[in-house]
Amino acid sequence: MARSGAEKSGLMEHGLEGLNHNFVTGRLEDLVKWARYRSCFPATFGLACCAIEMMGAGGPHYDLARFGMEVFRASPRQADLMIVAGRVSQKMAPVLRQIYDQMMEPKWVISMGVCASTGGMFNNYAIVQGVDQVVPVDVYAPGCPPGPQTLLHAIMTLHQKIHDGELTQRKVGQGAGLVIEQRDGQHFDAPVVIGRR
């Protein structure tokens, strides 16, 4: 597009003749949210058969690398996303909480599979009946085991929640996987439950 003489002289007068409208403006909050959802680093925390499907999602066929999260971090201090893949035993629950506490803020949790979400078929004293009793869960991925497509859908749902700014404040308490109503009528948000239609 050709510029008029007044526009050219105005740009040259301010020392901006090289820019020619090649700059972007925006809010800092939007830039931070964009950086957060484009750079989630998942922690390696596979507990049962769902972990095989999680590994499949990181393979070349499903290609988690296109979301900028191809490297599963072995150190919780380098991760900000925990994918709990499989059933959580009572002995493993304190370890899971310790790893979650060591992760950097802001941090998110995806509960992958029916065993992690509700205890699944293991309705006994040895298995935690829902990982939301140990850590706050942001997105549930249902299935037994959920395929890599379901995990990718859960990750994209989490990215959308981060982008929309729904996760700017952490949930209250340890569990926070349920809707909790206080006596004064105040509601806490529940996590998103996704599934196949």
* Residue 29 is assigned to a structural domain of this protein: no
Identify the three-state secondary structure at position 124. Answer: coil
Query: In CATH, what number is assigned to the domain containing residue 98?
Result: 3.40.50.12280
* pLDDT for 181: 46
* Residue 125 is assigned to a structural domain of this protein: yes
Strands (E), the chain: 42-43, 81-85, 108-112, 139-141, 192-193
Structural domain boundaries, residue 47: 42-166+190-197
Task: Please state, in angstroms and rounded to a whole number, the distance separating the CA atoms of residues 83 and 160.
Answer: 17
In tens, the pLDDT along 105-137 reads 888 899 998 888 888 888 888 888 889 889 999
* Residue 124 is assigned to a structural domain of this protein: yes
Whole-model pTM: value is 0.70
Task: Please state, in angstroms and rounded to a whole number, the distance separating the CA atoms of residues 70 and 39.
Answer: 10
| Sequence letter at residue 88 | V
Domains held by the chain: number = 1
* Residue 122 is assigned to a structural domain of this protein: yes
Cβ contact 154:110 at 8 Å: yes
The torsion region of residue 119 among left (phi > 0), alpha (psi -120 to 50) and beta comes to left
* Residue 3 is assigned to a structural domain of this protein: no
Cβ contact 117:145 at 8 Å: no
* Residue 173 is assigned to a structural domain of this protein: no
In tens, the pLDDT along 87-106 reads 889 899 999 999 998 888 88
* Residue 99 is assigned to a structural domain of this protein: yes
* pLDDT for 180: 40
